Amino acid sequence: MIDRRALLAAVPALAACDRFASAQDAPISAPPLKSVSPAPFGTCIQAGHIDDPAWVALARANVSQLTPEWEMKMEYIAADGLNAPYRFDRTDRIVDFAQANGMAVHGHTLIWYSQGGDLVAGLSGAEFDRVFDDYVATVAGHYRGKVRSWDVVNEPITDDGEGMRDCHWSREYGADGYVLRAFEKAKAADPEAVLFLNDYNLENTPRKGAEFLRLVERLLKAGCPLEGIGTQAHLDIEIPPGQITSFIREAARFGLPIHVSELDASLRSEGRIDLRSDRERLAQQTGRVRELAVAFADLPERQRFAFSIWGLRDTDSWLRQGDKDDGKDSPLPFTASGAANPMAAAIASGFQA
């Protein structure tokens, strides 16, 4: 069955790309994104952004929710080790900024497979429990009443979708067990926050998306206080049309709030010769981004939790950091100067479809 909305999505996407390809100095028209979003519109933030007046102005115009990009992760908060106080200085500053500007905060993240191994190295049993439980209780408790929601567990599924990741947490508590324990401790520490399970490539890799949803189903059956689904949406612009919509519809069957939590969409092609024109790559990017925005807007109102991009300006993106950056990728809705990219127009068009 042909999805009329998916078919029509190509029209504004190609129009935006034509403008970009034929006259790159011509302005792209897009309304403030928070003004057209059907839910809080968010972005990630680092504390240093608060010192950038241009970033602050762009955020105030477009954003109603903030996610700390890395300073609320274990690698920063517990960087001084078990015998030192946790570091809340930078994230406190972010939370204060959000409150002063009428923005919500989404906490990111309590337990992640890639962090914390140094804290629990050599520990087991009661000692391991103490570190795990104290970390979740202390961090979630510190921000009780100050954050709207939490990514309680981040990225539990393997890249290929074969199953759960093996990590220091799962080796102590079991593949599902560490997830259950984290949610239970987070709920006790901050009962009012909405608790999310968050992962990436759920739209890009159908096998991984299906495995993630099987985990959601197991957790709910086990009585886990899982209250929301977070899909990062680091989009592969080459995935087939309709694939994003299919995943969002499948995720929606649980009736849980859905957070598009870390949207970006690189124009680069890794590891192969790319013969596509700029226009073709932009058509793919804006088409997939618009499809995501339409699928999100089509959710029941109670399931539209938030729609967050992983950075405002292209130069803020993690995809534009490091030696491999050629300065040409445009994975976010705004240019380095804060002008709208075709992606911004695609998001707005999708919300208003």
Whether the predicted pLDDT of 21 surpasses 90: no
| Residue 211 belongs to domain spanning | 4-22+30-351
Per-residue model confidence (pLDDT) at position 287: 98
Whole-number average pLDDT of the chain? 92
Per-residue model confidence (pLDDT) at position 323: 81
Task: Give the model confidence (pLDDT) of 260-285 as tens digits.
Answer: 999 999 998 776 677 778 899 999 99
Per-residue model confidence (pLDDT) at position 2: 32
CATH number of the domain bearing residue 73:
3.20.20.80
Out of 11-20, 310-319, 332-341, pick the least confident: 11-20
For range 253-258, the mean pLDDT: 98
Per-residue model confidence (pLDDT) at position 250: 98
Per-residue model confidence (pLDDT) at position 271: 63
Whether the predicted pLDDT of 71 surpasses 70: yes
269 compared with 130, residue with greater pLDDT: 130
Out of 20-34, 220-234, 327-341, pick the least confident: 20-34
For range 238-260, the mean pLDDT: 98
Per-residue model confidence (pLDDT) at position 83: 87
Instruction: Kindly report the three-state secondary structure assignment for every residue of the chain.
Output: CCCHHHHHHHHHHHHHHHHHHHCCCCCCCCCCHHHHCCCCEEEEECHHHHHCHHHHHHHHHHCCEEEECCCCCHHHHCCCCCCCCCCCHHHHHHHHHHHHCCCEEEEEEEEECCCCHHHHCCCCHHHHHHHHHHHHHHHHHHCCCCCCEEEEEECCECCCCCCECCCHHHHHHCCCHHHHHHHHHHHHHCCCCEEEEEECCCCCCHHHHHHHHHHHHHHHHCCCCCCEEEECCECCCCCCCCHHHHHHHHHHCCCCCEEEEEEECCCCCCCCCCCCCHHHHHHHHHHHHHHHHHHHHCCCHHHEEEEEECCCEHHHCHHHCCCCCCCCCCCCCECCCCCECHHHHHHHHHHCC
Number of domains in the chain: 1
Q: What percent of the chain has pLDDT over 70?
A: 92
Per-residue model confidence (pLDDT) at position 26: 67
Confidence band of 322 (pLDDT split at 50, 70, 90): confident
For range 324-328, the mean pLDDT: 81
Per-residue model confidence (pLDDT) at position 277: 86
Confidence band of 12 (pLDDT split at 50, 70, 90): very low
Per-residue model confidence (pLDDT) at position 17: 46
